[in-house]
Amino acid sequence: QVQLVESGGGSVQAGGSLRLSCVHSGYTSRNCMSWFRQAPGKEREGVAAIDSDGDTRYADSVKGRFTISKDNAENILYLQLNSLEPADTAMYYCAFAPWYRCYSPSWLNSSNFKTWGQGTQVTVAS
């Protein structure tokens, strides 16, 4: 069974950067690997996803600021967060799903992902 452990969250000023990591174990090939976030009182929303071929997709709100990547040799999924805004404040989660969930708009729907980490908090001060 795949296990996911996120790290790298923290508190930064607006305009700052963070890099989130998700270490995974029990990984099998052809997964859709994704980052979601959830702010207090809001629904969990898809931020970025990457498929087994390395193709990426992003929510419109983070395009040009966030970058998803993966290191298959080290079993780590990353999310680089640049030009952070207070609206980016949320708990960030990594999640895995079968490869076909990377097709839009599936990857935006958290109910399509069954394997989740515990989350890492990102707080952006204005």
In whole numbers, what is the pLDDT of the chain averaged over residues?
Answer: 94
Q: What is the pLDDT of residue 60?
A: 96
Band of pLDDT at residue 39, cut at 50, 70 and 90 = very high
**For residue 27, pLDDT beyond 90:** no
| DSSP-assigned beta bridge partners for residue 59 | none
Q: What DSSP character marks residue 105?
A: T
Rounded to an integer, what distance in angstroms lies between the CA atom of residue 124 and that of residue 101? 30
Contact (CB, 8 A) for 6 and 20: yes
Let me know the angle formed at the C-alpha of 47 by 93 and 96, rounded to the nearest 5 degrees: 50
Q: Which of 4-18, 57-71, 93-107 has the lowest mean pLDDT?
A: 93-107
Q: What is the pLDDT of residue 50?
A: 95
Tokens of 97: 């799903």
Give pLDDT tens digits for 78-112.
Answer: 999 999 999 999 999 999 999 899 988 999 999 99
Q: What is the pLDDT of residue 26?
A: 66
Q: What is the pLDDT of residue 29?
A: 63
Contact (CB, 8 A) for 107 and 63: no
Band of pLDDT at residue 74, cut at 50, 70 and 90 = confident
Give the pLDDT mean for 36-53: 95
Q: What is the pLDDT of residue 72?
A: 85
Contact (CB, 8 A) for 62 and 48: yes
Burial environment of residue 63 by CB neighbours within 10 A (0 to 12, 13 to 18, 19 or more): exposed
